[in-house]
Amino acid sequence: MTASVLSRVDVHPVLDVPLLRDIIHPSRELWTPRELRELTSFVASELTTPLLSILEFDSTRRWWARLGLTEGVELWLLSWLPGQGTEPHDHGGAAGSFTVLTGELFEAYRYPGGPVRSAVRGVGAAVGFGAGRAHQVLNNGGVGASSVHAYSPPLVPTREYPSLADIPRDIPPLPASRLPLEQLRVLADQEGP
């Protein structure tokens, strides 16, 4: 790979292997929900040992580590202690995915105008979703859980809601402009997933 291509990809030092660099190649500008699901599933299954070596749990907040970042996709590892979770939110028009690496996660989700649905996601369960979906993810179990997440385009701000019943009929579209990798790095370091 040339230096210019390498500089357009950020990869966690523990996961800086050709395999990961190849699958999050910077030439792909936008990823579909299916491609994101395949990505998180592949990373969780093929890079399990290095993921477990960096995994941490924090009793004060959900913990996360950025695994990879290009101008087209962001990839994260998150941990969830019992009782930790998110507020109901959408992903600002970005597509997303998550795969459960360890433990079990409860997800309640809703598409605009549809009913609230829920599912328990166990180890290996992978979910890809489009821009019009809102959800809430919780660890309702008795042991810590972890998951691999991906979003495209990267670092689009999420919107939180009082409940899933409060999501609007239409999720507003994505911003017209994309940020360069240098600005995405700063945002990722400040905000996390």
Q: Is 170 among the domain residues?
A: no
Q: Is 119 among the domain residues?
A: yes
B/e letters for 142-168, b = 16+ CB within 10 Å, e = fewer, are: eebbbbbbbbbbbbbebbebeebeebe
> Does the pLDDT of residue 30 top 70, yes or no?
yes
Q: Is 85 among the domain residues?
A: yes
> Does the pLDDT of residue 79 top 60, yes or no?
yes
Q: Is 146 among the domain residues?
A: yes
Q: Is 185 among the domain residues?
A: no
> Does the pLDDT of residue 68 top 50, yes or no?
yes
pLDDT: is 79 or 169 the higher one? 79
CATH of residue 46's domain is: 2.60.120.10
Give the CA-trace dihedral at 34, 185, 191, 136, to 10 degrees: 0
- Residue 64 belongs to what domain range? 12-154
Mean pLDDT within 79-83: 98
Q: Is 166 among the domain residues?
A: no
> Does the pLDDT of residue 63 top 60, yes or no?
yes
pLDDT: is 91 or 193 the higher one? 91
Q: Is 57 among the domain residues?
A: yes
Instruction: Please give the pLDDT value at position 131.
Output: 83
Instruction: Please give the pLDDT value at position 75.
Output: 97
Distance (Å, rounded) from C-alpha 62 to C-alpha 94? 21
> Does this model's pTM top 0.75?
yes
Q: Is 126 among the domain residues?
A: yes
Q: What is the pLDDT of residues 152-190, one digit of tens each?
A: 999 888 889 999 998 887 776 666 556 677 777 777 776
Domain count for the chain: 1
